[in-house]
Amino acid sequence: QIHLVQSGAEVKKPGASVKVSCRTSGYTFTTYGISWVRQAPGQGLEWMGWISPYNGNTNYAQKFQGRITMTTDTSTSTAYMELRRLRADDTAVFYCVRDEALLLSKFDPWGQGTLVIVSS
């Protein structure tokens, strides 16, 4: 079975950074991309970007360019998403998802989500 297990909840102050991990298992890590999707409290889903574990190529949503970095560690089949210069409106649940291919928007399965609270 395919699993994506994310790191635990975080509380951060405005201006800080957060790095969320996503450990995968049950498939060959380098044969699928990983996308990150966030969901603010009571709001809808928002795609943040994509990374290819095969070659490290990334594609970030325009909104986050300049303050987001996605990386992978193929030795542990783990993906990471770092968001910098956090603001209160970054408070959200962040999901990692296995992404079949960049243009397909086919996300399956999803991690359990990581709640990040940004508050002074």
Partner 1 sequence: QSVLTQPPSASGTPGQRVTISCSGSTFNIGRNPVNWYQQLPGASPRLLIFDNNQRPSGVPDRFSGSKSGTSASLAISGLQSEDEADYYCAAWDDSLIGVLFGGGTKLTVL
Q: Which residues bind partner 1 (CB under 8 A)?
A: 35, 37, 44-47, 49, 59, 61-62, 95, 102-113
State the nearest-atom distance from the C-beta of 5 to partner 1, in Å: 12
For partner 1, the closer of residues 74 and 112 by Cβ is 112
For partner 1, the closer of residues 44 and 75 by Cβ is 44
State the nearest-atom distance from the C-beta of 68 to partner 1, in Å: 12
State the nearest-atom distance from the C-beta of 103 to partner 1, in Å: 5
State the nearest-atom distance from the C-beta of 71 to partner 1, in Å: 19
- On whether the CB atoms of residues 93 and 117 are closer than 8 A, the answer is no
- On whether the CB atoms of residues 83 and 29 are closer than 8 A, the answer is no
- On whether the CB atoms of residues 113 and 6 are closer than 8 A, the answer is yes
Question: What's the full length of the chain, in residues?
Answer: 120
Matching residue, tokens 């998403």: 81
For partner 1, the closer of residues 5 and 16 by Cβ is 5
- The structure tokens listed for 84 are 């910098």
| Eight-state DSSP code of residue 64 | G
